[in-house]
Amino acid sequence: MILLKEVAGELYSMFVSDAALTACVLAIVMLAALIVQVLGADPLLAGAFLAFGCMALVLASVWRAARARR
């Protein structure tokens, strides 16, 4: 039970500590849903958008963290 509490605390702090990252992830997911629902595009296209969007977001986050360490 203590392990679950620690994991939940780490997940909470991970998302709360970087609000910009959380907002960008939510925006990517929302845009992918809109691509399918509103535009009627193939879900595979939305999946590709999610994959590439999240990869770009991770790269931007790493780049920002590396710049902050200098």
The Cβ of residue 25 has, within 10 Å, a number of other Cβ atoms equal to 17
Q: Calculate the alpha carbon distances from 12 to 4, 19, 23, 54 in Å.
A: 12, 11, 14, 19
pTM of the predicted protein model: 0.71
Amino acid letter for position 30: M
The two most distant CA atoms of the chain are separated, in Å, by 46
What is the C-alpha separation between 32 and 35, in angstroms, rounded? Answer: 5
Structure-token pair, residue 30: 């929302």
Q: What is the pLDDT of residues 5-56, one digit of tens each?
A: 998 888 777 767 777 888 899 999 999 999 999 999 999 999 999 999 999 9
CA atoms within 13 A on the CB side of 30: 6
pLDDT for 10: 81
Locate the domains of the chain by residue range: 19-69
